[in-house]
Structures are given as structure tokens and as C-alpha cells.
Amino acid sequence: MTIEESTFKELESVIQMARKDGMRVHDVPGSIWFCAKVDGELAGFVSCYIRKRKGKAVFKSDYVREEYRRRGIYRKLFEARLDYVSIVDVKIIKASCTKMSLGCFLAYGFKSTGSRSRKYTDVVLHLVH
């Protein structure tokens, strides 16, 4: 499996799958995209955007295709995105996660700040430089 930086355009086919699964996926201006490939096939993606003036990064659009799940692909994508953010000067990372991704956020030190709906829980991570 490989993790690579990608673009919204390159990920179009797998983004369609995520949308069919009920995910809302948007190319927020300034987004960075990472994808996982297994034997050259797109298996999943994550994105984030940085708001430097606010010292903030937002993690978004986390998705792994059903047939590739539960083998650590998301964890690898998650780490690639954290590595990227660690070299940018931000003080806080925010995200809204589902029940399926919450465990991963908590494992990397994010704290829950409450649920905005039945589906989404807001989480934050304060970075110390």
C-alpha cells in the first residue's frame, strides 16, 4: 500500500463512491488531499485545509472503500495528514467525525467537544510547538 498526495480531480472516481455511501465531500479552497493505493487501485482518501491566520487546520473527508476497510489504511492516511500539519504553524486541528472514525481521532490525542448531530462528533487537538 502507498500513501500519496493527490488532488480532488484525481480522486473523482472514489469520491463518487463516498458520496453514494452518504458522505458529503467538498473541495474546500486550499485543501490538501492524500490517497491510499493498493496494487495501484485507489482505496481511500483524506483531506485537510489550513487557515494560517487563525492558526487552524481542519481535517475533512475521511473515506476508505468498504472492501479495503479494517486493515489499517485509514490509520496510515491519518498519520500522513498529521505529519503534513506538523510542519505547518498551526495551534489547533479541528474535525467532525463519525462513529467509525472517532476511535482513530481519540487514539491520536484528539478530544471530543460535543456532538452536533446524531451522526457527527466534533473533536479538537491542541498542538504544542
Residues that bind ligand COA (CB under 6 A): 21, 23, 62-64, 69-75, 97-101, 103-104, 107
Distance CA 73, CA 64 (A): 7
Ranked by CB distance to ligand COA, the top (closest) residue is 103
CA dist 52 and 107 (Å) reads 25
Q: In the block, which residue shows the cell 485509514?
A: 74
Kindly give the residue spans of alpha helices, DSSP state H, lying in the chain. Answer: 12-20, 73-86, 99-107
User: Toward ligand COA, which CB reaches closer, 23 or 89?
Assistant: 23
DSSP 65: -
Query: Taking the complex as a whole, how short is the minimal distance between the CB of residue 10 and ligand COA, in angstroms?
Result: 18
Q: Compute the least distance from the CB of residue 21 to ligand COA, in Å.
A: 6
Please identify, using beta-carbon distances, which residue of 89 and 100 lies nearer to ligand COA.
100
Select from 21, 99, 10, 1 the least CA-distant residue to 47: 10
Query: Residue 44 has what DSSP assignment?
Result: E
67 or 129: CB nearest ligand COA: 67
CB of 65 to ligand COA, least distance (A): 7
- 12 vs 21 by CB, closer to ligand COA: 21
